[in-house]
Structure 1
Amino acid sequence: MALNSVNTNVGAMVALQNLQSTNSELATVQSRINTGKKVNSAKDNGAIWAIAQGQRAEMGALNAVKDSLNRGQSAVDVGIAAGETVSDLLTQMKEKALAATDTSLSTSARSALNEDFVALRKQIASTVSNASFNGVSLLSGTDGFKALANAGGTSTIDIGVEDMSLSGSIVTLAADEKIDTVTAATDALALVDSSIANVSASLARLGTGSKALGTHANFVGKLQDTIESGIGNLVDADLAKESARLQALQTKQQLGVQALSIANSSTSILLGLFR
């Protein structure tokens, strides 16, 4: 038989413990509904939180990778645009050089052709010297561009320099090339022809590099989406489930309050025994 005591109300103690447990569960569910996450801090689930944080760091690192790839693609696109301009200028120079090989030209006509040729040559030099993006030039110098390829920084996509400066291995025309004589025009014509072929090959390589950077940037974007989805699977709450649980706990809370009220009233019943 249970002991009736005004000093120790066991029923009230049990009811209070159950109510406190319900209130704790209710607070957890309300937090999940408010934040949309079942793991919002390390105290919710230390292991899962640590994994999610690691993946968030990976996401941040991949943002830097995308930025690097985008800068590289912009630098390559500038190089391609300038290279195409150089190719167009060389095509015009070929026309001038070929015309200057005509032995029947008058001195004034040859001089006019030479002036046009020299002006086009200077435009090539100007185009190459100004073909840079954010300080990176792929048509001059020797550095090229190394775009980050992974979050650890251990892999890169390398784009080499296609140096189209005059007197180089691609544009073989000398910096002072002229067509003021038949012999000079003939020599210049051969150099222009080889330069056109070389520039076309360089543009093909730059185009391949641009495509590689774009393809990898798309891959990194998809990888970020996959990681973000994985993080969500780890920490996001099922709001439909939590909503149903909230209603159940609220009902349980109300019943717990009533149970505690009933348990607390049991001591007053003892007064009736002394009447």
Structure 2
Amino acid sequence: MALSVNTNVGAMAALQSLTSTNRSLETTQSRITTGLNVASTKDDSAKYTVAQTLRGDLGKLSAVTSSLNNAKSVTDTAIAGAEQISDLLNQMKSKALEASDAGLDDDSRVAITKDLLALKQQVSTIIDGSDFNGTNILKGDGSATAQGVSALQSIASGASALTVDNQGYTTKATTALGDLTDDTDFAGIDTSDPTNITAAAFSTATTGVIDKLDAFFGEVQDSLSTLGASSRKIEGQLSFNSKLTDVVTSGIGNLVDADLAKESAKLQALQVQQQLGVQALSIANQAPQTILSLFR
């Protein structure tokens, strides 16, 4: 090959090699810094597009999980209230049966009635207090328009919502216990007049107070079964969403995550290549100097 001071082929080749090494080194350093093998569509358009779609699904799953958690909290709050009301009704049934005893003196029966009124007030307070974030599925009449709770349960297009209906405790309690705002009415008995508080007033053969309590207790038990099943369904959906989120996250990682052990080894090799490239370019740049010796 002819010697020329105008064209240094060796230097150009060394420069091209060094430029390529530097470009690879930048790519490797970027992967190590970000932890991503595909950080941009410039790296791999197909994988980046798929990863972005999956990231969108993760965002949707997060919204579904948040919705389900809210529904679970509302349902669990209602369950706590219903269980407490069930306990209070058991106490009421015992006291109502005791008050129906014809051998009981009037003063004792009046005292029992005061306890029953206090228990009724507790039931009313629990119904009103079974509220989570402004949603109360115990308070109401249980109609289709009464306040229930609804939650997303899937990111699939057209997926149905998970709903828990209003349990209508306000209407059920009023039917069984009387006006919840009236401190003198218990299951239709006007307790403001002690003469109304008789054994006959409590017996099932006349006003049916015990029957009313039994009926309300049965409705509460049915409601607890419904609420319990709904809570388990929500928990199952939350568990599935959690697993699905892990699977999608893993899938994104398989697509775009960098193998840092591999990139670390590659970085070491490229750094050596860079040093050698610089030396090769330096040697190539010194080649034209040999031409001067021809003119001495």
Same fold (TM over 0.5): yes
1:136–1:145 Cα contact (<8 Å) kept? yes
Aligned mates of 2:93, 2:64 — CA distance in 1? 43
The match for 1:111 is 110
The match for 1:163 is 168
2:81–2:127 Cα contact (<8 Å) kept? yes
Q: Alpha carbons of 1:166 and 1:173: their partners in 2 closer, same or farther (altered >3 Å)?
A: farther
Of 117-126 and 18-27, more deviation after overlay is shown by 117-126
Asked if 1:226 is matched to 2:225, the reply is no
Asked if 1:260 is matched to 2:281, the reply is yes
AA of the residue aligned to 2:87: D
1:146–1:157 Cα contact (<8 Å) kept? yes
Aligned mates of 1:231, 1:211 — CA distance in 2? 30
2:106–2:198 Cα contact (<8 Å) kept? no
Asked if 1:245 is matched to 2:244, the reply is no
Which string of whole-angstrom CA distances, capped at 9 and with x for unpartnered residues, describes residues 202-226 of structure 1? 1111111111111111111111111
The match for 1:180 is 197
2:81–2:126 Cα contact (<8 Å) kept? yes
1:125–1:166 Cα contact (<8 Å) kept? no
Which string of whole-angstrom CA distances, capped at 9 and with x for unpartnered residues, describes residues 148-197 of structure 1? 1123574321111212125469x633323138233431210011111111
1:69–1:148 Cα contact (<8 Å) kept? yes
Once the two structures are TM-superposed, the CA of residue 12 in structure 1 deviates from its matched residue by 1.2
AA of the residue aligned to 1:268: Q
The match for 1:235 is 256
Asked if 1:198 is matched to 2:203, the reply is no
The match for 2:210 is 189
The match for 1:37 is 36
Aligned mates of 2:31, 2:123 — CA distance in 1? 64
1:129–1:140 Cα contact (<8 Å) kept? yes
Q: How large is the RMSD of aligned CA atoms in angstroms?
A: 1.9
Aligned mates of 1:57, 1:167 — CA distance in 2? 45
Once the two structures are TM-superposed, the CA of residue 6 in structure 1 deviates from its matched residue by 1.0
Q: Give the TM-score of the pair, scaled to structure 2.
A: 0.86
AA of the residue aligned to 1:156: A
1:167–1:174 Cα contact (<8 Å) kept? no
Of 146-155 and 76-85, more deviation after overlay is shown by 146-155
Which string of whole-angstrom CA distances, capped at 9 and with x for unpartnered residues, describes residues 61-114 of structure 1? 222221211111111111111111111111111112112222233322222222
Identical-pair percentage: 45
Once the two structures are TM-superposed, the CA of residue 37 in structure 1 deviates from its matched residue by 1.3
Instruction: Please give the secondary structure, in 1, of the residue aligned with 2:176.
Output: coil
- Write out aligned runs for 1:54-93 (5 A): 54-93=53-92
The match for 1:143 is 147
Aligned mates of 1:238, 1:167 — CA distance in 2? 63
Once the two structures are TM-superposed, the CA of residue 146 in structure 1 deviates from its matched residue by 0.7
AA of the residue aligned to 1:83: A
Aligned mates of 1:139, 1:133 — CA distance in 2? 11
Aligned mates of 2:176, 2:294 — CA distance in 1? 118
**Which ranges of structure 2 fall in alignment gaps of 5 or more residues?**
141-145, 180-184, 190-195
**Which ranges of structure 1 fall in alignment gaps of 5 or more residues?**
none
Q: Give the TM-score of the pair, scaled to structure 1.
A: 0.92
2:37–2:258 Cα contact (<8 Å) kept? yes
Of 181-190 and 151-160, more deviation after overlay is shown by 151-160
Aligned mates of 2:165, 2:176 — CA distance in 1? 19
Aligned mates of 1:36, 1:172 — CA distance in 2? 65
Q: Alpha carbons of 1:207 and 1:112: their partners in 2 closer, same or farther (altered >3 Å)?
A: same
Instruction: Please give the secondary structure, in 2, of the residue aligned with 1:237.
Output: coil
The match for 1:96 is 95
